[in-house]
């Protein structure tokens, strides 16, 4: 009889173990299921896999979570995810697939750091994705929307159909079809405006934003610093929450081991389901959310502030003592110090290059 | 591309071969010398990557100086470094060269001071930052080489790599230092 109970214990434990293992396995599988595939490419289109590994994109290639599509001056790409989402990446664009968590669920992030990306979502399974730029984030519902990010970190959202909620610096504006909005870095969304079909020249808008930043680099850097600091604040707010959740998880795992010794395998798995697994999910969500904000800061620092630096340094190469350049340099160094001190430790080497 | 060193050596060898017909006594000695010269040339050419050959590096600097912004951007690899920045797009390279070309004579009379292979520990020469450390540890281009040049704008440090059709390309620049 005793032997039979032990076998039953072992079977129940094994079953629970398999369920738990499958549940954990589902996390990367879910990400895999969300790969986007290239269905068309033209000109220079690369996929950045991280660790400096960059390859030319070929039709049929996947873009996975954490990877970026980088198009050159004449590059253009179309991606599809299943039959419900299509993504068009315009020339001179950096587009990245990422993930975060909100309200206890994983949420996909589509980041347009520079350039222009058009999205068409038909049927969204589960949580709708976040569309992110250096200055704002947007939630979508059955939508066609074009998102453009300029060299100064400003973004433009233009909705063709459906609706989009654009959020920046704690303020949210809802856009309906044929409406658009501009968001400057470090500021709440501006006034929304009506858009006539084909009425916006995105390259012209990008050029105008670029000219504004060249004219007053210190003001542009100051706006970016505000935005950067708000991202740092998010990271600093989430880091202790993640640390606490990790500590609890370790404690509960220790408790689970003791329960196994005292009460057997069945009790252990019951404890796991009730106490450990929810903490594993919580800890995982806290981790990816923390990563999301740290990567947002990295993206702003690398692509927007980096491009500003190269533009100004090369413009002032014969006049490096110019007060305009020196003022920019001072702000630039301040942002870099904050990045090195508060963001780097949240990122892996693979994420840095 | 014809390198001055190669051309000069070829003439010397031809002249040596002509002399051997007129003076058979010294023929074997001259042949040996010519063979040794040839060997030195070929071993020299094959052992050094294109990014570390002074003539190739000088040629790159000359082409960056004489070409327009587009030509210079074509000779610039991405990702590339500017001081402590890692620039990821070809537009960054184009923007940089469009601006640099407005500063007349930036690379005119540039003199190559030194050419040394780049190693991961060299990251501090660009910037003592985590970004630069990771780039030098994980993402250095093929045959990475540090080149110091002196220009009328001051001294610059270039990161050069050698992967495009035997011509080195620019993968980074810091300066004036």
Q: Which residues of A touch B95 (CB under 8 A)?
A: 307, 310-311, 314
- Chain B touched by A351 (CB under 8 Å): no
- Tell me, what's the ipTM? 0.82
- Top pLDDT among B46 and A296 is at A296
| pLDDT tens digits, A112-124 | 999 999 999 886 6
| B91 and B20 in a common domain | no
Query: Is pLDDT at B7 greater than 50 in this prediction?
Result: no
Q: How many CA atoms lie within 13 A of B36 on its CB side?
A: 6
Q: Do B82 and A303 touch (CB under 8 A)?
A: no
Q: How many CA atoms lie within 13 A of A3 on its CB side?
A: 0
Give the per-residue pLDDT at A197.
Answer: 75
Under a CB-based contact definition with an 8 Å cutoff, are residues A212 and A220 in contact? yes
Distance CA A253, CA A241 (A): 18
Q: Which of A73, A302, A352 is nearest residue B94 as measured by Cβ atoms?
A: A73
Q: Do A309 and B129 touch (CB under 8 A)?
A: no
- Chain B touched by A10 (CB under 8 Å): no
Distance CA B132, CA B47 (A): 29
Under a CB-based contact definition with an 8 Å cutoff, are residues A213 and A308 in contact? yes
Q: With residue A101 as reference, give the H or E element that holds it.
A: strand A94-102
Give the per-residue pLDDT at B83.
Answer: 96
Distance CA B143, CA B160 (A): 8
| pLDDT tens digits, A165-180 | 999 999 999 999 999 9
| B79 and B23 in a common domain | no
Give the per-residue pLDDT at A26.
Answer: 44
CA A304 to chain B, closest CA, distance in angstroms equals: 10
pLDDT > 70: percent of chain B:
72
CA angle A243, A247, A253 (to 5 degrees): 145
Averaged pLDDT for residues A227-252: 96
Give the per-residue pLDDT at B19.
Answer: 37
| B148 and B112 in a common domain | yes
Interface of B with A in 91-150 (CB under 8 A): 91-92, 94-100, 102-103, 106, 129-131, 134-135, 137-139
pLDDT, chain B, mean: 79
Interface of A with B in 100-159 (CB under 8 A): 114
Burial class (CB in 10 A: 0-12, 13-18, 19+), A4: exposed
pLDDT band at A141 (very low <50, low <70, confident <90, very high): confident
Strand order of the β-sheet with B154-164 is B85-87, B76-82, B167-174, B154-164, B145-151, B111-117
| pLDDT tens digits, A308-332 | 999 999 999 999 999 999 999 999 9
Give the max Cα distance, chain A. 90
* Best of A71, A75, A307, A344 to mutate (most B CBs within 10 Å, chain B): A307
| B113 and B58 in a common domain | yes
Distance CA A283, CA A301 (A): 27
| pLDDT tens digits, A281-291 | 999 999 999 99
| B120 and B56 in a common domain | yes
Spell out the alpha helix ranges (H) of chain A: 2-33, 202-215, 217-263, 265-271, 277-299, 306-315, 323-338, 349-352
DSSP assignment, residue B158? E
| pLDDT tens digits, B148-173 | 999 999 999 999 998 656 789 999 99
Under a CB-based contact definition with an 8 Å cutoff, are residues B74 and B60 in contact? no
| B54 and B108 in a common domain | yes
Spell out the alpha helix ranges (H) of chain B: 4-22, 27-47, 54-66, 69-74, 90-100, 130-138
Burial class (CB in 10 A: 0-12, 13-18, 19+), A178: middle
| B86 and B28 in a common domain | no
> Which of A270, A321, A334, A331 is closest to A20 using CA atoms?
A270
| B92 and B17 in a common domain | no
Q: Which residues of B touch A311 (CB under 8 A)?
A: 95-96, 99
Domain with B25 in it: 4-47
**CA pseudo-torsion sign A44, A47, A48, A53:** negative
Q: Do B90 and A114 touch (CB under 8 A)?
A: no
CATH of the domain at B170: 3.10.450
Q: Which of A70, A72, A340 is nearest residue B129 as measured by Cβ atoms?
A: A340
Distance CA A37, CA A87 (A): 10
User: CATH number of A34-202: 4.10.520.10, 2.40.50.460, 2.60.120.1440, 2.60.120.10?
Assistant: 2.60.120.1440
CA A252 to chain B, closest CA, distance in angstroms equals: 35
- Chain B touched by A198 (CB under 8 Å): no
Beta-strand pair A105-121/A130-132: parallel
Q: Which residues of B touch A54 (CB under 8 A)?
A: 79
Q: Do B139 and A349 touch (CB under 8 A)?
A: no
Q: Which residues of B touch A352 (CB under 8 A)?
A: 130-131, 134-135
Query: Count of domains in chain B?
Result: 2
- Chain A touched by B65 (CB under 8 Å): no
- Chain B touched by A240 (CB under 8 Å): no
Give the per-residue pLDDT at B35.
Answer: 54
Dihedral pair phi/psi, residue A202, rounded to 5°: -65, -35
**Residue boundaries of the structural domains of chain A:** 34-202, 219-352
Distance CA A50, CA A347 (A): 12
* Cis amide prior to B176 (ω within 30 degrees): yes
pTM over 0.90: no
| pLDDT tens digits, B97-141 | 999 999 888 888 899 999 999 999 999 999 999 999 999 999 999
Distance CA B137, CA B13 (A): 44
Distance CA B77, CA B88 (A): 9
pLDDT > 90: percent of chain A:
75
Distance CA A182, CA A185 (A): 10
Query: Is pLDDT at A99 greater than 80 in this prediction?
Result: yes
- Top pLDDT among B22 and A195 is at A195
Distance CA B175, CA B177 (A): 4
| B155 and B77 in a common domain | yes
Distance CA A341, CA B154 (A): 32
């Amino acid at each position: 009889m005793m032997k039979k109970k032990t076998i039953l214990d072992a079977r129940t434990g094994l079953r629970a173990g398999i369920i738990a293992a499958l549940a954990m396995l589902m996390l990367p599988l879910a990400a895999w299921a969300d790969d986007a595939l290239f269905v068309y490419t033209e000109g220079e289109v690369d996929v950045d896999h991280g660790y400096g590994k960059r390859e030319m994109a070929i039709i049929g290639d996947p873009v996975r979570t954490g990877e970026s599509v980088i198009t050159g001056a004449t590059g253009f790409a179309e991606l599809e995810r299943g039959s419900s989402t299509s993504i068009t990446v315009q020339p001179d664009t950096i587009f990245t697939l990422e993930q975060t968590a909100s309200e206890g669920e994983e949420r996909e992030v589509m980041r347009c750091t520079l350039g222009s990306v058009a999205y068409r979502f038909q049927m969204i399974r589960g949580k709708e994705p976040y569309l992110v730029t250096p200055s704002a984030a947007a939630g979508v519902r059955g939508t066609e929307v074009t998102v453009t990010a300029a060299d100064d970190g400003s973004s433009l959202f233009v909705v063709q159909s459906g609706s989009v909620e654009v959020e920046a610096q704690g303020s949210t504006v809802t856009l309906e079809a044929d409406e658009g909005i501009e968001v400057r870095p470090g500021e709440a969304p501006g006034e929304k405006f009506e858009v006539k079909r084909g009425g916006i020249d995105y390259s012209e808008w990008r050029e105008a934003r670029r000219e504004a930043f060249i004219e007053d680099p210190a003001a542009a850097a100051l706006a970016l610093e505000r935005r950067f600091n708000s991202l740092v604040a998010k990271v600093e707010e989430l880091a202790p929450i993640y640390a606490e959740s990790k500590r609890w998880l370790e404690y509960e795992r220790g408790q689970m081991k003791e329960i196994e010794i005292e009460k057997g395998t069945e009790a252990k798995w019951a404890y796991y389901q009730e106490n450990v697994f929810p903490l594993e999910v919580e800890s995982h969500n806290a981790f990816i959310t923390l990563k999301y904000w740290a990567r947002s800061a990295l993206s702003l620092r690398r692509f927007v502030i980096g491009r500003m630096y190269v533009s100004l340094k090369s413009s002032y190469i014969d006049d490096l003592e110019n007060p305009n350049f020196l003022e920019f340099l001072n702000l630039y160094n301040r942002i870099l110090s904050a990045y090195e001190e508060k963001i780097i430790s949240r990122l892996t080497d693979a994420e840095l290059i | 591309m014809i390198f001055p060193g190669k051309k000069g050596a070829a003439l010397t060898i031809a002249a040596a071969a002509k002399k051997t017909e007129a003076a058979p006594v010294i023929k074997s000695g001259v042949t040996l010398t010519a063979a040794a010269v040839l060997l030195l040339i070929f071993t020299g050419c094959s052992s050094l990557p294109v990014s570390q050959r002074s003539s190739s590096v000088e040629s790159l600097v000359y082409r960056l100086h004489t070409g327009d912004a587009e030509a210079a951007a074509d000779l610039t690899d991405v990702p590339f470094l500017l001081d402590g920045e890692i620039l990821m797009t070809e537009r960054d390279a184009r923007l940089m060269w469009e601006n640099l070309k407005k500063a007349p004579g930036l690379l005119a009379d540039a003199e190559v001071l030194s050419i040394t292979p780049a190693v991961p520990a060299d990251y501090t020469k660009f910037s003592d930052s985590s970004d630069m450390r990771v780039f030098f540890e994980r993402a250095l281009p093929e045959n990475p080489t540090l080149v110091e040049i002196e220009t009328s704008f001051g001294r610059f440090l270039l990161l050069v790599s050698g992967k495009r059709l035997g011509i080195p390309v620019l993968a980074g620049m810091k300066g004036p230092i």
